[in-house]
Amino acid sequence: MSTDTQRRSPVIIITGTPGTGKSTHAQLLAEESPIPLRHINVGEVVKEKSLHEGFDSEWQSYTVDEDKLLDELEPLASEGGVILDWHTCEVFPERWADLVVVLRCDHTQLWERLEKRAYPLKKIQENNQAEIMQVVLDEARSSYPAEIIVELKSESMEDLESNVARIIQWIQAWKANHES
């Protein structure tokens, strides 16, 4: 649990390989949460606020300036009530996180999802390999206490609904534990 017991709402990190459903989960969770939670798509914040060192055309992505990103997100995380949605989690300080959700998807299905996004083949291959090797899950495990990490399958609408319901139960328990 976060060291900041002053927060009235938790900080939830939803992470996973691109294409695992992070933004969909985060948006639905923000809509259905029993307490107000703000969905922050970290990749969008990086672009909108120019928190990067430029665009890498080979990988079709921005080279993130992690210091600028953390400076931007620190006040929001300190306040709580946010869902941080990003393909990596190890950059976020341990003290920020109350729950880290790692979404997983079968690599064949993931490949199809990334093809639909028109990702370059090299990027599809890299992300598929990362999913097979459970890179994001290993990052989470090396960055946060085991008791706040949850690995969830994200392959169907049923998974999405079940996962959001499970996270809402966690939010209700968190809230009950922090009302005193």
Percentage of the residues of the chain whose pLDDT score is greater than 90 = 88
Residue 23 is labelled as binding a ligand:
yes
Q: Beta 149-153 vs 99-104: how paired, if at all?
A: parallel
- Identity at 77, one-letter amino acid code: A
- The tens digit of pLDDT for each residue in 124-157 reads 999 999 999 999 999 999 999 999 999 999 999 9
Please say if the pLDDT value at position 79 is more than 60.
yes
Model confidence band, residue 4 (pLDDT cutoffs 50, 70, 90): very low
pLDDT at 66: 96
Lowest mean pLDDT among 24-28, 41-45, 60-64, 98-102: 60-64
Residue 20 is labelled as binding a ligand:
no
Residue with tokens 């990190």: 13
> Domains in the chain, ordered, with CATH?
11-170 (3.40.50.300)
pTM: 0.94
Are 49 and 72 spatial neighbours (Cβ–Cβ below 8 Å)? yes
Residue 21 is labelled as binding a ligand:
yes
Instruction: Report the C-alpha dihedral over residues 105, 108, 112, 113, rounded to 10 degrees.
Output: 10
> Could you give the CA distance from residue 177 to residue 89 in angstroms, rounded to a whole number?
25
Please say if the pLDDT value at position 168 is more than 70.
yes
Residue 8 is labelled as binding a ligand:
no
Per the prediction, the chain carries an average pLDDT of 94
Residue 43 is labelled as binding a ligand:
no
Q: Residue 99 pairs with which residues in a beta bridge?
A: 12
Residue 81 is labelled as binding a ligand:
no
